[in-house]
Amino acid sequence: MLGAFSLGLAAVLSRPAIADGDRLRAHAPYEASIPEPEQVLGYRLGTRHTVLMDQERVVRAIVDSSARTKYLPYGTSTEGRPLRVVAISSPGNIARLDEIRAAHARLAKAKKGDSLRGLESTPPIVWVNECIHGDETASFESAMALIYNLAASNDPAIVGALEKVVVMVNPCYNPDGHERYVVAYNSIPNGNGKEGSYDRAIPSAFLGRANHYRFDMNRDRIAMSQLETRQEVAFMLSWNPQVYADQHGQVENYFMPPVQQSINVNVGRDRYVKWTEIFGRATAQAFDGQGWSYFVRDSFDLYAPCYLDSFATLTGAIGMTHETNGGRVINSEDRDGFTVTLREGIEKHMVSALAVIQGAATQAEGLMSDYADFKMAANSGEFAGDFKRVVLQGDRRELLRLQTHLGRMGVESTYTEGVWTQAKSHDYWSGESGRREFSGPSLVVDMAQSQGPLAKAMLEPGSDFEPEFVERQKKLAQARKDGQPFDEIDNFEFYDLTGWSLPYAYGIDAWWCEDTPGFGMSMIGDPSFAVDGPVVGYYLPYRDRDDMFEAVAAMRSGIRVSLVRKKMVVQGQGVLPGSFLVLRQRNPEADLSRFADRRNGWLPLSTSFPDVGRQGPGSETIQYLRKPEIGVVLGDAGSLSGGSLWYLMEREFQLPFRSLTSRGWKAALPDVTALVIPAGVSLKLDESLREWVSGGGSLVLLGGGDWAMGGDGFFDLKGVDGEDKIPGTLFRAELDSSSVISYGYPRDKDGKVKLAVPISGTRFFKGDGQSAAKVVPNGLLSGWAWDDSPKTLEGTSWCESVELGRGRVTWFADDPTERAQWPGLWKMVLNAIVLGPG
């Protein structure tokens, strides 16, 4: 089949090599009425970086002049820039674009036995994404050349391809990052290509890989946190493409599929290998014709579903990544004196995109047939085997957040508070299996749905690696221990994280089930407690981060809020540690009256007299809370760390904060109650910081923090070294249930607080005392671990939180805010920030 396919493309792809500079116009003749990008811009592509406004002028000029195109806006970026896609196909296909879209939606819902009549002639959709990393600029520039060639060329190969496929080009996924970088780049001397040139020294705060919040959005399709991600995914899912090519840089040479292992099992590995071999060979043939070299099956995998290519493949498309050399700078010279230019990067991306488009056109029928088979297996649930359903339980608000989260991926779920029984369920945390009755707040996700493979990839406890992949990693590890070479691979083949399961990420109870019985839909109302006569105050149980936000909102409105530190029983109600109190005697009547009118979840107290024991609202163990005034040290003037914390503080927590530099933080100490230090930022430990903490400040270190350790630091931890790097794996930890850091977390029947924590690297720490959170024995939950990893990590600290005078210092081994991917850990961060100050 592959040989026949290659021969079929010979006339299209085996063109003579084009003289340098002409490759972007290699598909003559062109429609004279459609303007070329360089005519609109007034300069040659690749001689400078184009800003978004000028790219928009080019795109609009082409679309306004071509019957093959349609401009499709789908949203705005965080900073308000346009997000859009250009649909390109034959004029006939463009005229019936809505019909094609509807046909794809129907196909995505198809089940075995359904009639596909009328769908046989539906053209596949090929999606080409450009510039998710804003400073990988070749793709941004290439988008203009690609759109022009598809819209204006009368080359029979292109005209014929557009009869058979619909192409969707996203010219710039990340306009905020791109604009930040290219405006800075264009404003300085550039273009000499030598190592050490000024244009390679742009401060890291102005680099454009990430978006406004400095998120790498090619890692965001698990968390689905960023505005750009959410809008693009919703739009892409409304079209159901069969091919998704994501164009990147910067590598030493061009990368194209096939990818290296591991490949996520839920994509249908045989299907994926087959089609990436087809598209890879088509692209290789085009590159061979130009005399360009490239590499395949190295560096880039398809395991974690956080990437654009893996996520798209889990939805049914054939996702792929193209990585070019040439871009970011106008030209660069390597160690051999060979110069690679931005222009070359533009050309290579255009050629690879056209090869994929033409390959899809040649194989349109087979592509649609395999897509239909994949979707039918998804909708029937047969792809999932025994993994038929996931049931999740926890606080109603957290379950509804997870439902919204899954919905952003197109995954369907049902919230219920009914009662039903699963014949065979498997507990995520304990591993216990058997018959189980469910009741109370539950979220049910059945795998038999259009996005079932994606749902399974996101929800299952872990995903299998290929046996040969496992064998290679273990052989390399053994060879290194023996001091021997291993010829098959030089480095471990883990590209990114290996554990991400959403039930663990949310820290909620979960079971996967082997059957899908019906369940009731009854709902339980919120409890309410009415009292007759006057009240002495109100209390708010702390079960969810919304409760923390409610307490902070009360403080910010002028209400004095206290914290329960020991359990009390008042008017028949158990008030647990971590609950918030608003006492009448500590608040003016006018303020309390306004608070009582708007109270959200606060329950009234008619007496301070405890039912049993000595603990009550007037006890000395009650802690008075300070209104949060938060400082975040983001780095020096040229760097910016802590983008994920910045995002969470503004968008999820809605907590105002002062952004501080690593040189100017001392001046803010008198005015802040908490000082947060993201990973990557170091402070000079001196007496002023220690005095501030002792006086009631809360210092929070989100990963790193070596500067705060040792004899003169806040923590005396012993290093523990693993032999081989742990590649982003989830382990089980337990919180110290007596620590303020544990407030708001549910206890199990033994009073323990379980967590799933991400762990990476080879260096870990153990404390002599009671850690706030430490890894349990045999703690592996999800992802890759070496044989000795669980033993190495047993008892290591993931969080330390110590009191110092009236204040507190809290340290996390890994950043709990990273990628906004671990919502189950966010209450720990909030507790350190809000409850830590004394």
Residue 760 is part of a domain; what is its CATH number? 3.40.50.880
* Pair (80, 192) in one structural domain: yes
- How far apart CA 813 and CA 834 sit, in angstroms, is 20
Helix (H/G/I), strand (E/B), else coil: 755: strand
Residue 97 vs residues 59, 72, 100, 252: alpha-carbon distances, Å:
19, 11, 5, 39
Residue 616 lies in a domain: yes
Q: Identify the domain boundary among 624, 650, 668.
A: 624
Antiparallel, parallel or unpaired: β 420-427 and 433-438:
antiparallel
Spans in the chain with pLDDT lower than 50 = 1-19
- How far apart CA 187 and CA 538 sit, in angstroms, is 58
* Pair (250, 270) in one structural domain: yes
* Pair (654, 614) in one structural domain: no
Residue 659 lies in a domain: yes
Residue 151 lies in a domain: yes
> With contact defined as beta carbons under 8 Å apart, do 625 and 833 qualify?
no
- What does the buried/exposed string (b/e) look like for 287-310 if buried means 16 or more CB atoms within 10 Å of the residue's CB? bebbebebebeeebbbbbbbbbbb
Q: Identify the domain boundary among 344, 364, 380.
A: 380
* Pair (594, 607) in one structural domain: yes
Give the count of beta carbons closer than 10 Å to the beta carbon of residue 405: 20
Residue 252, pLDDT score = 87
* Pair (592, 722) in one structural domain: no
- How far apart CA 240 and CA 450 sit, in angstroms, is 11
Residue 210 lies in a domain: yes
Q: What is the pTM of this model?
A: 0.95
Into how many domains does the chain fold?
Answer: 4
> With contact defined as beta carbons under 8 Å apart, do 24 and 350 qualify?
yes
* Pair (315, 414) in one structural domain: no
* Pair (567, 638) in one structural domain: no
Q: What are phi and psi of 626, to 5 degrees?
A: -100, 140
- How far apart CA 245 and CA 784 sit, in angstroms, is 28
Q: Identify the domain boundary among 380, 408, 430.
A: 380
* Pair (743, 775) in one structural domain: yes
Residue 674, pLDDT score = 98
* Pair (170, 309) in one structural domain: yes
- How far apart CA 726 and CA 704 sit, in angstroms, is 16
Give the count of beta carbons closer than 10 Å to the beta carbon of residue 105: 14
Residue 13, pLDDT score = 42
Residue 523 lies in a domain: no
Joined together, the tokens standing for residue 800 give 């330390």
Residue 363, pLDDT score = 96
* Pair (337, 410) in one structural domain: no
* Pair (194, 68) in one structural domain: yes
Residue 163 lies in a domain: yes
Residue 370 lies in a domain: yes
Candidates 239, 314, 237, 323; CA nearest to 272 is 314
Candidates 167, 547, 553, 89; CA nearest to 564 is 547
Quote the domain boundaries for residue 564: 537-624
Residue 491 lies in a domain: no
* Pair (321, 225) in one structural domain: yes
Residue 597, pLDDT score = 82
Q: Which CATH number is 105's domain given?
A: 3.40.630.10
Residue 532, pLDDT score = 63
